[in-house]
Amino acid sequence: MKTVLEPNAELLSADDVYRDVAELTAALERRRAERPAYDILERPDVRQMLDQLIASGVCANEAEAIERALRTLVTAITQQPAGDGRGGVGPAARGVGAAEGG
């Protein structure tokens, strides 16, 4: 027989335990997904670029600098003609239409 260490303690139900495990698992998965971003942000060359953007006044903070950089990259890539060898993301670059012969 199991004894409760604290006389007024409540035992968790199976649903409570399941919910807690699910929340912890989700939190760990989020951390695992975030880790590559943190690794990149810790690189000295990336830190220097972010610091330069903020110091110049182009961006107010790191979040704005990262967002603007990603938007600029996506805009630059999506403006490239598909299949030109420079990273276009048009249908040819994604392999769309290859099965249809075009």
Sorted by sequence, the CB contacts under 8 Å of residue 87 that are 6+ apart come out as 77, 80, 93
pLDDT of residue 7: 63
Q: Which pLDDT score is estimated for 12?
A: 81
- Could you tell me the residue ranges of all domains in the chain? 14-92
Q: In whole angstroms, give the CA distance from residue 64 to residue 66.
A: 5
Residue 97 has a pLDDT of 46
Per run of 10 residues, the mean pLDDT along the chain (length 102 residues) is 64 89 96 93 95 95 94 91 57 46 44
